[in-house]
Amino acid sequence: MSVVLVTGAATGIGNLAAAALARAGHTVYATMRDVEGRNADHAATARDRARQERLDLHVIDLDVTSQESANAAVRTVVERHGGLDVVINNAGHLYVGYVEAFTDDDVMHLIDVNAIGAHRVNRAVLPHFRERRAGVLMYVGSTIPVTTPPFLGPYVVSKAAMDALAVVTAYEANAFGIETVIVMPGAITEGTEHFPNASRATDQHVAAAYSALDPLVERNEHATATLLKHPLMGAAGVTEEIVRVLGLPFGAKPFRTVIDDAHAGVERVNDIAFETRAEFVRRLGFAELLAPARF
């Protein structure tokens, strides 16, 4: 069994994954920011679950917008257990609205949380993984860089940035025997608080200029829900896939895995993109960076 750190574990996929992995026998650190403040109730619920179910599940503070916080969380886990095997970069936030109405600060903040946050966590854990010549970097990404729906512009950009960072980091991680998995959930309206907790654009003056489109934005969640087939996999289905993939042996984990109730055809795009990228990297003479090395 592995020692696993999950970011953004207060709610949604992160919360479900932390509990499911602990039930599967892993030692799990469910991390969230401000465990003594805004997330105190979520932290207490996770700790109660651990006691009641006798799970090896722990809650610690980790704010992905702070390198110091990421370093401290990873250091805590390594000191307690002598190692860390898996990091699940899951923390994220959703913006809904018109692209023009989001200020540069709005967009930069979302990229900071959704993409650079994962980079900070990687920077905290990669020295440990490199020394061990082992480890798993898992990212809870999205199908959205492929499907690119309207009214979610900054979110699409931030998830695309996270995905690109995962891919280019994987080349260097592969050289040290570190595996990468990008989990790509499709549209989800059940089991997360993404839509209810979504932020809106700061520039209300510009947003007002798009008021004719407001009815479309207001039915965005409903429109998403109409795409989904029953029974829904939702956040629970993503969690099941995370547990399954982490149970696979070295070399058998997929680089990407899609869990998409909307059946948007993202796998076809992934297959073409992977082969195109791999062929280009081979032509560059870097074929050995396409898969994790064995030590």
Closest CA to 91 of 110, 71, 72, 68: 110
* Alpha-carbon span 35 to 43, nearest angstrom: 6
Interhelix angle 153-174/104-111, rounded to 10 degrees, is 40
Q: Half-sphere exposure of residue 5, counting CA atoms within 13 Å on the CB side? A: 31
**Where is 32: in which H helix or E strand?**
strand 27-32
Number of other residues whose CB lies within 10 A of the CB of residue 242: 29
Residue 192: pLDDT band (50, 70, 90) is: low
Residue 70: pLDDT band (50, 70, 90) is: very high
pLDDT at 194 over 70: no
Share of the chain above pLDDT 90, in %: 85
pLDDT at 232: 65
More confident residue, 191 or 62: 62
β-strand partners of 257: 183
Check the CA dihedral 69-75-77-79 and report its sign: negative
Lowest mean pLDDT among 6-15, 147-156, 195-204: 195-204
Tell me, what amino acid is at 293? A
Give residue 193's Cα distance to chain centre: 15
For the chain, the domains span 3-93+105-197+228-289
**Architecture of the domain delimited by 3-93+105-197+228-289:** 3-Layer(aba) Sandwich (3.40)
pLDDT in tens, 147-174: 999 999 999 999 999 999 999 999 999 9
Rounded to the nearest integer, the mean pLDDT of the chain is 93
Number of other residues whose CB lies within 10 A of the CB of residue 30: 30
Query: How big is the chain by its Cα radius of gyration, in Å?
Result: 19
Residue 195: pLDDT band (50, 70, 90) is: low
pLDDT in tens, 207-264: 999 999 999 988 876 777 677 766 567 889 999 999 999 999 999 999 999 999 888 9
pLDDT at 42 over 60: yes
* Alpha-carbon span 138 to 255, nearest angstrom: 9
Number of other residues whose CB lies within 10 A of the CB of residue 5: 29
